[in-house]
C-alpha cells in the first residue's frame, strides 16, 4: 500500500489535505480521486466564475503529482 494526498487549487489558492489515504495501487488511488472529485464538482461549478479554474491533484508520498482533474471556466467573447 502507498500513501496519497489530495491537493486542491482554485485560482491563486492551493492547499494539500492534511490526512493522507492508503491505496493498493495507482488504479485504486485514481478511483478514490475520481470519487472525491465527483462529490465536489456540482458545488464547485455553481461557484466557478468566468476566467477561473479548479484543480484536484493526487500526490504520492514524495509530493509528486500522479493525476490531475481540472475544471476551466472561460469567457470566449472577452
Alpha carbon separation from 8 to 52, 53, 76, 78 (Å, rounded): 14, 11, 25, 27
Cell of 44: 464547485
Q: What residues does 23 pair with on adjacent strands?
A: 2
Contact 60, 2 (CB under 8 A): yes
Query: pTM score, two decimals?
Result: 0.82
51 torsion bin: left (phi>0), alpha (psi -120 to 50), beta (else): left
- Count of C-beta atoms within a 10 Å radius of residue 7: 16
The pLDDT tens digits for 7-49 are 999 887 888 888 889 999 999 999 999 999 999 889 988 888 9
Q: Give me the residue spans of the domains in the chain.
A: 2-73
Amino acid at each position: 500500500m502507498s500513501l496519497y494526498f489530495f491537493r486542491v487549487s482554485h485560482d491563486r489558492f492551493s492547499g494539500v489535505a492534511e490526512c493522507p489515504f492508503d491505496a493498493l495501487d495507482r488504479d485504486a488511488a485514481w478511483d478514490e480521486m475520481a470519487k472525491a472529485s465527483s462529490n465536489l464538482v456540482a458545488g464547485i461549478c455553481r461557484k466557478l466564475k468566468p476566467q477561473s479554474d479548479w484543480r484536484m491533484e493526487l500526490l504520492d508520498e514524495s509530493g509528486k503529482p500522479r493525476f490531475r482533474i481540472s475544471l476551466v471556466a472561460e469567457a470566449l467573447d472577452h
